[in-house]
Chains A and B, each alone.
Chain A
C-alpha cells in the first residue's frame, strides 16, 4: 500500500471556492491546539481576532491601513510573476519609494498640496522603478538572475534608508531616534474619521483596477502573458522580450515604490527605521495565493490585514508571544497552499488488491 498522487482533470468552480475556505477552517482547528496548549480558549481567541480587526470602526480602519501597502506590493510582485520574472525585491523598492517621496517632502519646499503630493508620488514611482530597473537591465542584457539581484538589493535599500535616518536626515529635534522630521501638512495624504485610515487605500484600489485593465485588456498585458507562458514562443513571434523584461521590472518596482509613498505620506508622515515590517515579502505569498490576479490580490491582502491586526490583539490581550502570531499565520498559509495542491491533484491509496 502506498499513497500516490494523481492529476485531477478540470475541477468544478464550487470546489475551487470551497477548498480554500475549508483549508482556513482546518488551519484554525490545528492552531486551536496551540492555543489550548497556551491555556487560551481558541473560540474566544478567534472571536477576538475578528472583533478586533473587523468589529469596530477603529479595528476596520487599522485593518485597511495594513491592507494598503500589501495591495501595492502584491500588485507589484504579481505583475512581474505574470511574466515569470521573480521580483523578490518589493521590500527594497518600497523603501526606495519611501526615500524618494521623503526627499521631495523634506527638501523641495513646494507649498501647494496637490503639487507636493504629485511630486512625491512621481519621485516614489521613479525611485522604486529605477531600483528594480537595475535588476531588469542585468537580466535583459546579461541574463543575471533577477531573484538574487532583487533580493540582495533589498538589503542595500533598507540599510541605505537606515544610514539616512540615523545620519544626514535625522531629525535634530527627534531625541536621537532614527527618524526624519515630520512632514508638513501639504505633504500628507488626507485621513478619515479621525483614524489612521488614509486615502492611500483608495489609490491602492485604483491601482488594482488599473492593473486589471492593463493585464486583461491591453496589448501590453497580452504580450506579458505570452512571454510568461512561453518566452521562446514570444521571441519567435517577434516580441522584444528583453525590453519587456526591463519594462515589467521597472513597473513592478515603481508600484512597490508607490507603497512606500503611501506609507510615508499617509501613515508615518516621516521616514524612519523599519517603515515596513516585511510587506514586500508577504506580498510574494499574497501574489501566489491570489494567483497573480488583481482582484485576488485585493481580497487576499485584506485577509492578511485581518490576520495582522487580529494577531496584534492576541498579543495584547492574551499575552501570547509574537511567535504564536507568526505560527498562526504560517499555518493558514500552509493549508491554503495545500488546498491549491488538492485542487489540482488527488491522493489515493494504491494497493495491490486493486488488481485482479
Chain B
C-alpha cells in the first residue's frame, strides 16, 4: 500500500518527560484515520510534531516515501499538511473572506478581490456550504467559524487535514454535515487525521483507528476489526471503569426553581430569556444545546457570578437570586466551571491549597488569622486518596497536573461541602474515558445521596446515559424537555437547532 504520510518511531522528550516514546503511524491517500487516546497519551504532541511546531528527538517522517522535516508550521503547510485546531485561529473583527485570504500564500499586494472571491466561492459551492463571505467572523456561530478554518485548508489544497475534536462545538446535525463533507473529501483522495473522544463518531467515520497510549502507538485497526468495547479497553488498558447504578428520581422534593429568569450580557443582548426550570432532589437534569446558547449564563447566574436582570431563583423555597458566589455556596450550590484552567484553579498553588479555595475561612482550616497547614495537608491527603487524584510530589503546583486530574481537584473541592445542588458545565470535556467515567460515577453517587445536578453538556451520549430528564436550550430559552428513555438523538438535535419547540 502506498502511504501519503508515514511516521516511524517518533520520539519526543521534554526535560523530565517522555511525551512520545515510539509512535509509528501511516496515513494512506483517501482515508480517514482516527487517533484515539487518553489525555496525556501524546495526541497533542504528535499533532504538534506533524504541524511542525515541535521537532522530534528521533524517528522519521516520510511524505510520499521521502524523508522530510519541518522547521515551522509554515513548512508543513507548504507540504500540504493543515490542521483545524480546537481553538480557532481567526481574526474576529475581519470578514470571512479576509480571514480566508490570510491563509493563502503569495497574495499579491494589489490583488483582484473578485478573482480570489471566486476561488473561495468555488470551494464553498463544491461542498454546498452556505457562508456569507462578507460577514464579520464574530457574528458567526462557532460551527460556522469551524467551517472557515476548514475552508482555509481547502483553498490551500492541503492533502492531509488534521482535525482536533471538531465536533465538540457542533450540534448532531452539524456534525453529520461535517462528516458528509469529510467523507466526500476522502473520496476525492484527501487524507484526514481525526481526533475525537466520542466513540460513536469514531465508529461511524474512521477507516482505520490508531490507539495511542502513554506515548506509544499501541495498535492500528482497520474498520471491522474494532468495536467500542475493544477500543475502550485498549485505551484505558488495565485501569478499571468504575461501575454505578443510577437510581430513579422520585420528583418529590423541589430543590431549585427558576422563574422567568432573564440575564443580559455586556452587549445588552439576552443570554437568558424568560427561562423557567424545575430541579428536584436527587435529580440529574441534563441540559443540551449548542455551545453559546445561554448555558454558561445559566450556570453563572445560579452560582452568583452573574446578576439576573429579572426573574427569580428559589433554592429550597428561599430566594437566592442576587446573592454573591459565597452565599450561594452556603445555600448549597456547587459549580464545576466550563473553563477549568481559567476559572477553576489557582495554577501556581498546590493541590492542597486549591482544595480549600472555597472554604479557606472555615474553622476547620484556620486558627484565628493563621492557616492550619496540618489540617490543610490532611484534607489534601484524604481528597487525593478519595478521588484518586494523581497529584505528583507533595507541594506540586496544580498546573503540572493533567486535565483529568485538575478536573478531579475541582470536583473534590466542589463536592466537599456536600452541596444540595451541583451545576456542572461540560464536566467531562476533554477528559479521557477513564476520567470521564469517574466523573459520572461521582455525579451518580451524589444523586444517590440526594444531590441534584444540572449537567450542561455537549455530549449527547453522556446526557442520555446519566440524565433523568433532558432540557434543551436555544438562544437563552428552554425550547424543549424530553425523556432520555424515549427520545432520539434526532429529536434533541432538532430542538438544539431551534427548528422545533416542544
Contacts and interface: CB of A to CB of B under 8 A. Distances in A.
Given A223-B360, A356-B60, A232 B342 contact: yes
A356 B15 contact: no
B317 interface: no
Contact of B343 (A236, A346, A352, A356): A236
B370 A238 contact: no
A217 B343 CA distance: 24
Interface string B325-367: 1100100000101000011111111000100011011000010
Nearest to B61: A355
B369 interface: yes
Contacts of A355: 55-56, 69
Contact of A9 (B15, B335, B337, B373): B15
A9 B396 CA distance: 13
B58 A356 contact: yes
Interface in B298-336: 303-305, 324-326, 329, 335
A219 B369 CA distance: 6
Interface string B113-139: 000000000000000000000000000
Contacts, number: 87
A16 interface: no
Interface in A319-356: 346, 350, 352, 354-356
Nearest to A2: B71
Interface in A214-238: 217-223, 225-226, 228-230, 232-238
A10 B14 CA distance: 11
B326 A238 contact: yes
Category for how many chain B residues contact A: 35 or more
Contacts of A113: none
Contact of A230 (B60, B305, B335, B343): B343
A8 interface: yes
A129 to B, nearest CB: 19
Interface string B273-305: 000000000000000000000000000000111
B346 A234 contact: yes
A141 interface: no
Contacts of B56: 355
B268 interface: no
B349 A226 contact: yes
Contacts of B343: 230, 232-233, 235-236
From B14, B324, B337, B371, name the one whose CB has the most chain A CB atoms within 10 angstroms. Answer: B371
B369 A230 contact: no
B67 interface: yes
A233 B357 contact: yes
A111 interface: no
A62 B337 CA distance: 55
B92 to A, nearest CB: 21
B224 interface: no
B266 to A, nearest CB: 13
Given A6-B15, A230-B345, A222 B353 contact: yes
A332 to B, nearest CB: 28
Interface in A233-276: 233-238
A219 B360 contact: yes
B108 interface: no
Given A225-B346, A238-B325, A356 B16 contact: no
B245 interface: no
A210 to B, nearest CB: 12
Contacts of A235: 305, 325, 343
A229 B366 contact: no
A305 B342 CA distance: 41
Given A219-B366, A232-B342, A238 B324 contact: yes
Contacts of A356: 58, 60, 67
A225 B398 CA distance: 14
A157 to B, nearest CB: 32
Nearest to A354: B55
Contact of B347 (A217, A222, A230): A230
B326 A226 contact: no
Nearest to B353: A222
B17 interface: yes
Nearest to A219: B366
Contacts of B344: 233, 236
A225 B325 CA distance: 19
B335 A236 contact: yes
A291 B428 CA distance: 36
Contacts of B324: 238
Contacts of B366: 219
A350 B370 CA distance: 51
A246 to B, nearest CB: 17
Interface in B1-33: 14-17
A206 to B, nearest CB: 18
6 contacts: A9-B14, A222-B353, A222-B360, A230-B345, A236-B325, A356-B67
Nearest first, the 4 A-B pairs at minimum CB distance are A238-B326, A9-B16, A9-B15, A229-B346
Given A221-B371, A233-B342, 12 more contacts: A7-B14, A219-B361, A220-B369, A225-B349, A226-B357, A236-B335, A237-B325, A238-B325, A238-B329, A346-B15, A355-B56, A355-B69
